[in-house]
């Protein structure tokens, strides 16, 4: 009996993948990778306009994409989005909880508004999108959920990071708990912990080339800041059969930052 080619483990042909925060740099890169692996993309973002812009980008790359407004801070919005998907019988096989914020302040100066918004988007949003997705996936016999954590969820990644790091550390632990509870339903839950990536969200962390060069020299053995496309292999691996026996895991994509601590 001839075994299937290794490349077939990484295909997502016939799958449907939903990405939250698909308009942003990391979300767009992951949606692109999943689409190039064969998945039909559901691109969600805070507003219809942002979701449609994400789809326009993907369609320009020759991919099929459907826009869907989804505000992860609102359980009503999450429910409305999944109600719509269920009505159209387009429940996703893969959900990428990418939506996030990075509000930085010192632990002496962080405000309640900064704290509440960070935890609401990064943790609460991830939790309730995953919960609603899992309820649908359970009925279908399984699925894959990929949460976006950060190296800040594993180590202290700099000053002014206490609130952000706390939210991402919670995502790492949440991933483990959900994997433990939902494995019996055929639902795998993993997370990706990116290092510093060159996106609009991190622009204030890398304001000049001198700051970037110093950060790279001190922290990144591979010698460069990450690009959103560096997440492509990780998200396809965790979404595909290539990771069929992997759950509860956090995969660092950080150029070696964590091991250099």
Tens digit of each residue's pLDDT (9 = 90 or more) over 161-193: 999 999 999 999 999 999 999 999 999 999 999
Residue 192, Cβ density class (10 Å: 0-12 exposed, 13-18 middle, ≥19 buried): buried
CB 101 within 8 A of CB 150: no
Catalytic residue (choose from 57, 127, 164, 245):
164
The model's pTM: 0.95
Give residue 3's pLDDT. Answer: 65
Give residue 1's pLDDT. Answer: 44
Interval 208-218 mean pLDDT: 93
Question: Per the domain annotation, does 103 fall within a domain?
Answer: yes
**What does the mean pLDDT of the chain come to?**
96
Residue 54 pLDDT class (50, 70, 90 cuts): very high
The pLDDT tens digits of the residues spanning 15-26 come to 999 999 999 999
Question: Per the domain annotation, does 258 fall within a domain?
Answer: no
Interval 57-72 mean pLDDT: 97
Give residue 181's pLDDT. Answer: 98
Question: Per the domain annotation, does 128 fall within a domain?
Answer: yes
- 164 as an active site residue: the answer is yes
Longest dimension (CA), the chain: 65
Instruction: Give the relative orientation of helices 126-140 and 162-182 as an angle to the nearest 10 degrees.
Output: 20
Q: Residue 175: in which H helix or E strand, if any?
A: helix 162-182
Tally Cβ neighbours within 10 Å of residue 61: 12
Residue 59 token pair: 């369609």
Q: How many domains does the chain have?
A: 1
Interval 49-56 mean pLDDT: 98
CB 98 within 8 A of CB 30: yes
CB 247 within 8 A of CB 186: no
Q: Which domain holds residue 242?
A: 6-253
Question: Per the domain annotation, does 68 fall within a domain?
Answer: yes
Question: Per the domain annotation, does 27 fall within a domain?
Answer: yes
**CATH code: domain of residue 171:** 3.40.50.720
Give residue 203's pLDDT. Answer: 79
Interval 41-55 mean pLDDT: 98
Distance (Å, whole) CA 147 – CA 239: 11
Residue with tokens 């979300």: 27
Does residue 4 register a pLDDT over 80?
no
Question: Per the domain annotation, does 1 fall within a domain?
Answer: no
Question: Per the domain annotation, does 260 fall within a domain?
Answer: no
Following DSSP, what letter does each residue of 64-133 receive, concatenated?
Answer: -EEEEE--TT-HHHHHHHHHHHHHTT---SEEEE---------TTT--HHHHHHHHIIIIIIHHHHHHHH
Distance (Å, whole) CA 150 – CA 155: 9
Question: Per the domain annotation, does 261 fall within a domain?
Answer: no
Q: Residue 216: in which H helix or E strand, if any?
A: helix 209-219
Distance (Å, whole) CA 185 – CA 145: 13
């Amino acid at each position: 009996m001839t075994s299937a080619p290794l490349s077939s483990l990484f295909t997502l042909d016939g799958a449907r993948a939903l990405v939250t925060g698909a308009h942003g740099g990391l979300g767009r890169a992951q949606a692109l990778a999943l689409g190039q692996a064969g998945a039909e993309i559901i691109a969600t973002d805070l507003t219809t306009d942002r979701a449609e812009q994400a789809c326009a980008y993907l369609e320009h790359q020759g991919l099929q994409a459907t826009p869907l407004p989804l505000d992860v801070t609102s359980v009503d919005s999450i429910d409305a989005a999944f109600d719509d998907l269920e009505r159209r019988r387009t429940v996703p096989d893969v959900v990428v909880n990418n939506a996030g914020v990075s509000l930085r302040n010192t632990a002496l100066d962080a405000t309640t508004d900064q704290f509440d918004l960070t935890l609401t988007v990064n943790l609460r949003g991830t939790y309730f999108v995953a919960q609603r997705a899992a309820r649908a996936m359970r009925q279908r016999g399984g699925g894959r959920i990929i949460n976006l954590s950060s190296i800040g969820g594993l180590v202290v990644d700099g000053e002014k990071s206490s609130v952000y790091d706390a939210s991402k550390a919670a995502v790492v632990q949440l991933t483990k708990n959900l994997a433990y509870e939902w494995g019996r339903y055929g639902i795998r839950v993993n997370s990706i912990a990116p290092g510093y990536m060159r996106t609009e969200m991190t622009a204030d962390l890398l304001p000049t080339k001198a700051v970037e060069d110093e950060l790279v020299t001190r922290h990144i053995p591979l010698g460069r800041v990450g690009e959103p496309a560096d997440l492509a292999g990780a998200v396809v691996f965790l979404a595909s059969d290539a990771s069929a026996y992997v759950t509860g895991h956090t995969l660092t994509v950080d150029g070696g930052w964590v091991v250099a601590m």
